[in-house]
Amino acid sequence: MKNQRDAWDEVTSRHIHHPLRAVIGVDDLNNTYIDGSQKRLISRAVALEPSFTVLDYGCGVGRWTLWFARQVHHVVGVDISPKMVETARQEADAAGIQNVEHHTVRKLPLPFENSTFDLVNAVWVLRYITDDDELARTVKEICRVVRPGGHVTFIEKIARRQPVFKEHEGEFSGAAAYRESEQYRTLFEGCGMVMKESGVSSASPLYWPYAFVRDTLKRRGMPDLLSRLAPSIISASITSENLTARMMHFLDDRDIISCSHRFFCFRKPENGNTR
């Protein structure tokens, strides 16, 4: 099994001309929906302020760092993969964005003072920390560097009943651990954080049936009649994400459907010290 750093370097190299594919997936329409719907959820959970300093932990190719940078004072993106960090820097340069810095991190502790950040965001990162002790140390560090009154947001693929260890995850040649929601909650609450919100992510009942029919037609070599609808479907799915995420969460809670990606938002109390 490859180490995580090499595995992520390799994925980045494979998708050098389409960096989003290195961090989401190979279908560009799905990527547009997933990216937009995730950002919709985070925008609703945390009111970003122009004075904010944000840490994007596991920044990948910088899809969050650049999005935050357009809305806040300063963003720091860190990642274990030097190639991801290099790509994120190039993306920031190409977009003319200057209020970001990107660094490769090799080990804990994180190189930041206590209470440095108004928000720490870590989308699709924690599952790649497969060792539970290392995950606990990482969560502790994330909570240490967020200021009292600040937030931690993250999205993770979760396990429904018991943790699942994957030696390889799709086209990613490294390992991943899908944990139960409760495990994340316990870890963050154990560090003194308070859960503000948790819900399903990117589970649109409009987008996914559309994508299923589109892919079926393509597989059967039938005329592609649906691609012209894609922009409207994606836009309507993203706009209705907050509503549909609640509906899907309701069904998921009752075991009627199964949604595997979950969004979490934790807040550090004003008088909060990390434990």
Ligand X SMILES: C[S@@+](CC[C@H](N)C(=O)[O-])C[C@H]1O[C@@H](n2cnc3c(N)ncnc32)[C@H](O)[C@@H]1O
Residues that bind ligand X (CB under 6 A): 4, 8, 23, 58-60, 63-64, 79-81, 84, 105, 123-125, 128-129
> Which tokens hold the place of 173?
């040649």
d(CA 255, CA 253): 6
Nearer Cβ to ligand X, position 24 or 272?
Answer: 24
Nearer Cβ to ligand X, position 77 or 199?
Answer: 77
Q: Using CB atoms, what's the residue nearest to ligand X?
A: 60
DSSP 51: T
User: What's the closest the beta carbon of residue 251 comes to ligand X, in angstroms?
Assistant: 25
- Strands (E) across 176-231 are located at 176-178, 194-200
- Strands (E) across 16-145 are located at 53-57, 74-79, 100-104, 117-123
Note whether 244 and 184 are within 8 A (CB): no
d(CA 45, CA 245): 13
User: What's the closest the beta carbon of residue 63 comes to ligand X, in angstroms?
Assistant: 4
User: What's the closest the beta carbon of residue 83 comes to ligand X, in angstroms?
Assistant: 9
Nearer Cβ to ligand X, position 84 or 245?
Answer: 84
Nearer Cβ to ligand X, position 59 or 265?
Answer: 59
Return phi, psi of residue 79, to 5°: -160, 155
User: What's the closest the beta carbon of residue 49 comes to ligand X, in angstroms?
Assistant: 22
